[in-house]
Structure 1
Amino acid sequence: MSETEANPTDLLFNQSLEKGLAVLRAFNAQRRTMTLGDVASATSISKSSAQRMVHTLETLGYICKHPRTRRYQLTPKVLEVGYNYLAADILVDVANPFLSELANMTGETVNLTEPYEREMVYVARFVASKFIPIHMPIGSRIPMYCTASGRAYLSGLDESEAQTLLLSSERAVHTPHTRTGVEDIMETVRVARERGFASNREELFLGDMTVAAPIFNSERRPVASVHVVAPTSRWTAEDAERKLGPLVLECARSISNSVRTLV
């Protein structure tokens, strides 16, 4: 973000609010704590603006200064915003019993993700007692193009819409198995559309394999994906697709049917 107006014709747009949100979003795993200078640099705003934003957020309780290091960090109050979204999200309430049942049936970790721009966001999770190679807490985001949940969501869109999303994605290579070619990825989306579920074989993380199916609303638009984690230490791709695919698909259909009766 810069000091220039995001849209000079939008008289209702509040740049101060934009800057304040930018400050909150600047804190992450790489920037757990920051000085005022760090905040200004991370958000591309002036140091005086950063000072005003930090002071306001500190007064409101969203940021605090460490007593020893004197560096700023987020407080648990920030979680209120995310929690309120989950509390208001009827899909999560509807899906939870089905996700729990799927986790019990498969003995593996089950997740619910929702689309945001070109990523899928974790909004519900049932963790199995078995080892999983990657921990993805609620709120984590993963790219659509190289994940089963993302491809499941894309399979619910029409061909041109799915392709447009892929073309606008930054398709980085994460592992030796990552597919980055649009046509190559679109072929996996077409296969997922035909059989009802998608799969991912170590394209985002090594050792991580997932099987996913899309969830639809009453207008037959995809609104989320449910996926099961099938680590390569316990599953072959063929067994995961053969055994988990139908279960994931049935779970997604049950959630979709329940959502339609409430919307």
Structure 2
Amino acid sequence: MPPRDAAPSSDGLFNQSLAKGLQVLSAFNGAHRSLTLAEVAQRTGMSKASAQRSVHTLQTLGYIGKHPSTRRFLLLPRVVELGFNYLDAHPMISAAHTYLAQLARASGETATLTEPTDTHMVYLAQVLTTQHIPMLTPVGTQIPMYASSCGRAYLSQLPTAQARTLLEQAVRPARTRTTLTQVEPLMAQLQRCVETGYATNCEELFIGDMGIAAPVFNTRGEAVGAVHVAPPTSRWSMADAERQLAPLVIECARAISRLVPPT
């Protein structure tokens, strides 16, 4: 697991030790909830000695612990503080809460606020429906722009060349049999969003799950994220979702956009 953005060797300010510590934290995920020291080294590409130093430091600081029975390393709750500090200070989240709740209540479906990170969208805030949902995607989840309604909504508001570059840079596997993966059809989807004000996704990420999204702007008119609802195919057809839910999503996104200050 190499660092997402490796610094050039000529960068004298780049702190390799800090980068290695962050790599270790990133090595843990839903599929790797606990790791041995050898597994940490393998997943980060470090030597065992280097991994041991990073793990020991993080363990001393309270970010990593060791299971008393298995002796495997695992993340501790203090890691949550890092993400919470970001969310707590995020102006888009404070602006969105009331309107997300209104959207969830009016639509009967889960309403989510996202923002871009590289070629993905990350979930910042969410109001869950009380009805059955086929896929749980909590705050912190990252989903690819190319296959998500929120990603397409955001991309549609970028300059065409920039949007195309992001799509071309992204790894675009077919997540389901209906996933669009070619750049030109995806660019056509972005143009459709420009014309209608909303983007869609029908079972392109998860079977049984759709998406209706609208872009969110700051008060300077810059695209900063998206709002979407995730109507399941068990309750909605795409035609009905577009007719009934798209206007609600657009209204929510516009209300949030009026309150998001430039960064």
Q: Is the TM value for this pair above 0.5?
A: yes
Q: Deviations over 1:97-142 (max 9, x none)?
A: 0100111111111000110000000010000100111000110000
**After superposition, where does 1:67-216 map in structure 2 within 5 Å?**
67-216=68-217
Task: Write the distance in 2 (CA, Å) between the matches of 1:213 and 1:158.
Answer: 17
The DSSP-based 3-state class of the residue aligned with 2:109 is coil
Query: What CA RMSD, in Å, does the superposition of the two structures yield over aligned residues?
Result: 1.2
Letter of the structure 2 residue corresponding to residue 94 of structure 1: A
Aligned to 2:229: 228
Task: Write the distance in 2 (CA, Å) between the matches of 1:12 and 1:74.
Answer: 28
Aligned to 2:40: 39
The DSSP-based 3-state class of the residue aligned with 1:259 is coil
Question: Aligned residue pairs: how many?
Answer: 260
Q: List gaps (5 residues or longer) in structure 2.
A: none
Q: Deviations over 1:138-157 (max 9, x none)?
A: 10000000110000000111
Task: Write the distance in 2 (CA, Å) between the matches of 1:141 and 1:226.
Answer: 14
The DSSP-based 3-state class of the residue aligned with 1:145 is coil
Identical-pair percentage:
51
Task: Write the distance in 1 (CA, Å) between the matches of 2:173 and 2:197.
Answer: 26
The DSSP-based 3-state class of the residue aligned with 1:108 is coil
Where in structure 1 do 4 or more consecutive aligned residues deviate above 3 Å? none
The DSSP-based 3-state class of the residue aligned with 1:179 is coil
Task: Write the distance in 1 (CA, Å) between the matches of 2:42 and 2:125.
Answer: 34
Task: Write the distance in 2 (CA, Å) between the matches of 1:107 and 1:210.
Answer: 14
Aligned to 2:18: 17
CA contact (8 A) 2:155 2:190 kept: yes
Letter of the structure 1 residue corresponding to residue 53 of structure 2: R
Task: Write the distance in 1 (CA, Å) between the matches of 2:251 and 2:162.
Answer: 25
The DSSP-based 3-state class of the residue aligned with 1:226 is strand
Task: Write the distance in 1 (CA, Å) between the matches of 2:141 and 2:255.
Answer: 25
- Provide the TM-score with structure 1 as the length reference: 0.97
Q: List gaps (5 residues or longer) in structure 1.
A: none
- Provide the TM-score with structure 2 as the length reference: 0.97
Letter of the structure 2 residue corresponding to residue 187 of structure 1: A
Task: Write the distance in 1 (CA, Å) between the matches of 2:219 and 2:12.
Answer: 36
Task: Write the distance in 1 (CA, Å) between the matches of 2:103 and 2:197.
Answer: 17
